[in-house]
Chain A
Amino acid sequence: MRTGVGGFQTVLVLGGGSEIAAALLDRLRRDGRVTAILAGRSPVAESADTVFVPFDALDRASHPAFVEDVFSRHGDIDLVVAAVGVLGDQERDEVDAGSAVAVIETNFVGLVSVLIPIAERMRRQGHGTIVVLSSVAAERPRRANFVYGASKAGLDAFAQGLGDALVGAGVHVLVVRPGFVRTKMTAGRAAAPFAVTPDAVADAIAGGLRSGAHTIWVPPVLRGVMAVMRHLPRSIFRMIRA
């Protein structure tokens, strides 16, 4: 259960290796003890308050049992962080259907598959928060990474709708739209304008959890930037490389 001072007792991270999720857990632990359930493909070190659970976003048949197991073993889950995501290889994805579909299946379909039973369990427990790591790329897909953009656009739309569907059930969905984040996923790429660190994203998420926001942009200036970008003529938008 969440505590009276806003603390989260039990947190499930989908994509247990996520640097943003790790930075967020650090922040949550400043407010009190947190049991973290890290779900992912590669095992992570366990400790008194960290457990690892195998989870593969692509193995959709396993998702119902995974959710059932986590909730029955750990009781109430106060916060779920959906941090599963791959960037893909745009050049290859443009010509190789299998490779493009893998990006969509990981970032979008896999999360739909696991978030639906999670939302159902949270509805039953009567409380909970789901943080969905979307991207500014979701707001308007760019020429330079439209496969990734399409996957995030799908996820973003799904998460917004899920949040609306859960209003009144005590369950809250926070959609996070970061710009370029310097992580291992983006290592070796030239940073886009307004690039941020995982710590900055974690700070923003912690702030959004406190304020009860439903959508946040990191850095916040991207909200305005994207509002303009969305209305640029295609012929101009197409030329943006960053």
Chain B
Amino acid sequence: MIDAERARVTLGAGVSLDSLVDRLLPHGLFVRVSPGTRYVSVGGAIAADIHGKNHHVDGAFCKHVDSLDLLTPTGDVLTVAKDSDVFWATAGGMGLTGVVLRATLDLERVETAWMVVDTERASNLDDALARFVDRDDAYRFSVAWIDCLARGRNLGRSVLMRGNHARRADLPSSTPPLVSPPRLKLRTPPWVPGGLVNRWSITAFNEAYYRRAPRDKRGRLESLDRYLYPLDSISDWNRLYGRQGFLQYQFVVPIGEEDALRAILERVSSAGCPAFLAVLKRFGAEQGLISFPMPGWTLALDVPAALPGLGPLLDALDLIVAESGGRVYLAKDSRLRPELLEQMYPKLDEWREIQARLDPEGRMQSDLARRLSLVRRPA
């Protein structure tokens, strides 16, 4: 149910952001936090307390959830609001506090379905970080693509893409403001051979991507779709990784720990890790108990899962992340060593307390929870 007057929506948690955004835009409304893909459900967005390119300004998804209905493992339905500890255990709680049935979200008003985007190149990591900090409050949205294979003085060279929602006046008068331009849909054919994503193909791609990006271009109009969800236009892009697939490694290190970020980039580039999509972004304030974002720098890398030596490489990166006071993103994790979990998530015990209260018999289980011993086993 969309309440256009109060800029709110109450909806079933199974609704995808894809269909939600399509229904909101004609009302001049948009979600306050949107991840890099439209293909997630509202329930999943709450369970992982997802973030978007505007985290440094607007925080994570659950900050804009007004209340939610939770089917707890004991079979009760609770309506919880932000003043409840159950709310903050469910936000980023990886689904282990129960099933989110419904939620009410605060929305934002937009004048158009477009963004005004500034693109600039940064020649190395220091340059990229400095540019991020400079005029960061002038942009609601900011993200950098980073070349993880660049080494030496080029280490961390990036393309920054920062922008704001376009206003009506920013568009040519002939453009209907609240209509998304049709999305170009490409398909990855099912017969893509394995091993396409390797060190050489990615080096070539990264070089081309960096060179192609404008050195400094201001005020370009881009559709919301294209800026926020670049990969959604290529369906089944994951097939590019072949049968063995890929995994995404995402971590955050606190502000002031830029050396840890540099050390990680050095490890990744000297290992020749073919990270096709590496995304750097600055986070704002922390919330919740085991929610991922914290004030700092977050980097997400997509790497082929079959890469030889990947396990030990990522284990070594985990240690640097934990040492710096940072953490890895549970929603994307499939391999973290459980011993590091409590160091990365200092409020884990507090969360476990609430989780155990909601689920005294240990009914909620997931592969993640079992692999990392996230929940306490019932006595």
Q: Do A and B come from one complex?
A: yes
Chain A residues near B (Cβ < 8 Å): 1, 3-7, 9, 30-33, 75-76
A32-B311, A32-B312 known; A5-B337 Cβ under 8 A: no
A4-B247, A4-B305 known; A32-B315 Cβ under 8 A: yes
Closest B residue, CB atoms, query A7? B311
Residues of A contacting B247 with CB < 8 Å?
4-5
A32-B335, A32-B337, A33-B337 known; A3-B367 Cβ under 8 A: no
Residues of B contacting A75 with CB < 8 Å?
370, 373
What would be 14 A-B contacts, judged by CB atoms less than 8 Å apart?
A: A1-B370, A1-B371, A3-B334, A3-B371, A4-B247, A4-B333, A4-B334, A5-B305, A5-B311, A6-B305, A32-B312, A33-B315, A33-B337, A75-B370
Kindly supply a per-residue 1/0 record for chain B positions 290-318, scoring 1 wherever the CB is within 8 Å of any chain A CB and 0 otherwise: 00000000000000011000111011000
Tell me the complex Cα distance, A6–B312, Å: 12
Closest B residue, CB atoms, query A32? B311
Q: Which of A1, A5, A9, A76 contacts B310 (CB 8 A)?
A: A5
Q: Is the CB of A76 within 8 A of B311?
A: no
Residues of A contacting B370 with CB < 8 Å?
1, 75-76
Residues of B contacting A32 with CB < 8 Å?
311-312, 315, 335, 337
> Which 9 pairs, one residue from A and one from B, show the smallest C-beta to C-beta distance?
A4-B334, A1-B371, A3-B335, A31-B311, A5-B311, A32-B311, A4-B335, A4-B247, A5-B310
Closest A residue, CB atoms, query B313? A5
Q: Is the CB of A9 within 8 A of B315?
A: no
Residue among A1, A30, A31, A32 with the most chain B CB within 10 A? A1
Tell me the complex Cα distance, A33–B315, Å: 9
Tell me the complex Cα distance, A115–B122, Å: 59
Kindly supply a per-residue 1/0 record for chain B positions 254-287, scoring 1 wherever the CB is within 8 Å of any chain A CB and 0 otherwise: 0000000000000000000000000000000000
Within 8 A of A (CB), among B315-341: 315, 333-335, 337
Closest A residue, CB atoms, query B368? A1
Tell me the complex Cα distance, A31–B314, Å: 10
Residue among B247, B310, B333 with the most chain A CB within 10 A? B310
Q: Is the CB of A31 within 8 A of B312?
A: yes
Q: Which of A5, A9, A33 contacts B314 (CB 8 A)?
A: A5
A6-B305, A32-B335, A33-B337 known; A1-B367 Cβ under 8 A: yes
**Contacts beyond the supplied A31-B311, A32-B312: 4 A-B pairs with Cβ under 8 Å:** A1-B370, A5-B335, A6-B306, A32-B337
Residues of A contacting B337 with CB < 8 Å?
32-33
Q: Which of A1, A9, A30, A76 contacts B312 (CB 8 A)?
A: A30
Residues of B contacting A9 with CB < 8 Å?
371
Closest A residue, CB atoms, query B372? A1
Closest A residue, CB atoms, query B369? A1
Closest A residue, CB atoms, query B334? A4
Residue among A3, A4, A9, A75 with the most chain B CB within 10 A? A4
B305 CB → nearest A CB, Å: 6
B324 CB → nearest A CB, Å: 21
Tell me the complex Cα distance, A1–B371, Å: 5
